[in-house]
Structure 1
Amino acid sequence: MALNEKRFDGRVAIITGAGGGLGRDYALLLASRGARVVVNDLGTSRQGEGADIGMAAAVVAEIRAAGGEAVANGDSVATAVGCAGIVKTALDTWGKVDILIHNATINRRGPFRDLSFQDFSAVLDVHLSGAFHLAKEVFPRMCDAGYGRIVFVASIAGLYGERNVAAYCTAKGAINGLSNALALEGLDHGVGVNCIVPAAKTRLVEGRDVEGFPPWGPELVAPALAWLAHEDCKASGKLLVSLAGRMAEAFPAETRGVFQPEWSIEDVAARSDEIFDRAHVETFSSVPRGFHEHLGFSFEMARAGTAND
């Protein structure tokens, strides 16, 4: 064991969508550092069709062959019943859940004008509803136990948008909001909640032109995810970007803005360059008081502007 090696001995982790791609690397890394892992994967296609628990079973076999502990689960993250089944697997096997990593994903590509509500809902069910149902199962338990780590998998598409994947963008963007809310509620209970914003060469990019990309395999992302899941990580309410060897923090920012005691449509138009001027920006961290700091900043500008009139 390396000096100061970050270990997960005694910790129980649930990792959804761990039968391949990024999830597989997450599972293998945590297990190699001592975590007991529920490897969840329904075994669907990229579009969420079909089912094959063999994908999860294969990862479990890898972990066990390397001397680790793992169990396969094939329940769907898209339903409350399925999420309860995933958590029950951890509780029945090891009696607790210390770490939740919600990585399961599907995508339905196509222009928004052709996107059916059925496809839209299917994508949201896996990403956003899955995050909700899993968190409902584990978050109260973690708070009662005084410890927990939750990592939701967000996306560059959720931050900045992307063509022809409106449902995916919507779901991934909303996950960040849920993460921030839980980070605040878990603050006094030892429960850290963060998002990772990864990108890697997996089957989700099949069919896309990635010729000329630098190395960007899942193994370059897994350490970032593992750090967010570790007991030594005290960060909460963060967006950790990881792809192709680059790691960074993403966060909301605002222009400083301008104040007037009264506005007309014409005033907004006339001052739009000032409003959108990014020469000076303000940032507010969700934890511990970003919401209130935002209000305070805006109100102070209003008070100062009124006093100067």
Structure 2
Amino acid sequence: MVMSSAIVALFLSDFLLLQQRFSAPPIQELTGQEAGVLQATVQYADIKTVVRGSTRIPVMELALTAGCTAPVRVHSIGLRRVGLGYNSDIAAMYIERGTQRVSGARGIDNRDGSVVLHVRDVVVPACGTETLTILADFAEDAAVSGQHRFVLHDQDPIQSTADTVHVRTVNEPLPLQTASSSVRGTLTVTPLSLLQRVQYGSAQTVARIRLEATGNDRHIVSAIRFTNQGSAQGNDLQNFSIVTAQDGRISAITPAMDGSSVYMRMSPPLVLEGGANRMLILQADVHVGRSKTLAFTVEESGDVFSRVRRGRD
């Protein structure tokens, strides 16, 4: 799997800085008695230029507020790409809630630029709000100077259990233009087999990967998100950490999974020079037996949170 590093005019030092791309819009309070009312407040990011091969580019934020009568489960969000560019310039689009990815990554295959992202495990509580961020990965061979705007689909873009969905837009989307500079170096993630069976107990190795940087760029990795494709979830495993044979623990400790995924923040950020590679080991305290299965992997390119510095400076 080839991972391209996210490049924007202002580098993101950590995933949490993503929220600074948006100013928090006022959310109209819903107090009506109609069951299953959902209000979506849409705010578009103000990023204007991206480099070919960039990943994790935030294009839209949705603040979803449910009425006070009933919670609302979100099923899917329909989007459309418009502008003087090619649909194939967009390698993938996906949705995140905080540090959790709540949709699969999908390219734009339809000729009209539309794509439907199916949402998993997002329920807006009654009288509550959930904020979702929609991100895009750009292809390494994206057309130079291509322009792209991402908007909600014209017809019923948000599918949910709500009887009524109101959509309010805070600002107009700006066209994202792919810059003419060369493609950035990439990160390659190679899954490695476990050397022994996972046992019940502390500090068990549950995944091994090799992370390799290509090109001459310096990659700074702030976090990696692993997803368990097995049946174990939540508190079945606890106290996750990333270790290396040379340096021991190189991440903060994450107490438990968020659903089926675990977000690992590097502490300090991991620096990989062009051509270098590191073997990373994910460990956790295992509190389940053979009735639950484990298969941790880095599913998508956007699951590696990184930035790039050109050259050796």
Q: TM-score range by the shorter chain?
A: under 0.3
Higher relative contact order (CA 8 A, sep 6+): 2
What's the TM-score, normalizing by structure 1?
0.26
Q: Which has the higher strand share?
A: 2
Q: Return the TM-score normalized by structure 2.
A: 0.26
* Structure holding more helix per residue: 1
Structure ID, larger Rg: 1
